[in-house]
Amino acid sequence: MSTAMNFGSKSFNPRPPDKGAFPLDHFGECSAFKERFMECLRDSGYESGACRQQAMAYLECRMERQVQLMANEPLEKLGFKDLIEDKSEAKPEKS
For residues 53 and 38, give the distance between their C-alpha atoms in angstroms, rounded to a whole number. Answer: 12
pLDDT of residue 21: 60
Establish if 46 belongs to a structural domain.
yes
Q: What is the pLDDT of residues 6-63, one digit of tens each?
A: 555 666 676 655 665 666 777 888 999 999 999 999 999 999 999 999 999 998 998 8
Residue 46 domain boundaries: 30-85
Establish if 38 belongs to a structural domain.
yes
* pTM value > 0.85: no
b/e per residue, 19-40, with b = 16+ CB within 10 A? eeeeeebeeeebeebbebbeeb
What does 37-49 look like in DSSP terms, one character per residue? HHHHHHHTTS-GG
pLDDT of residue 39: 97
DSSP 74: -
Q: What is the pLDDT of residues 65-78, one digit of tens each?
A: 876 667 788 888 88
Establish if 9 belongs to a structural domain.
no
Domain count across the chain = 1
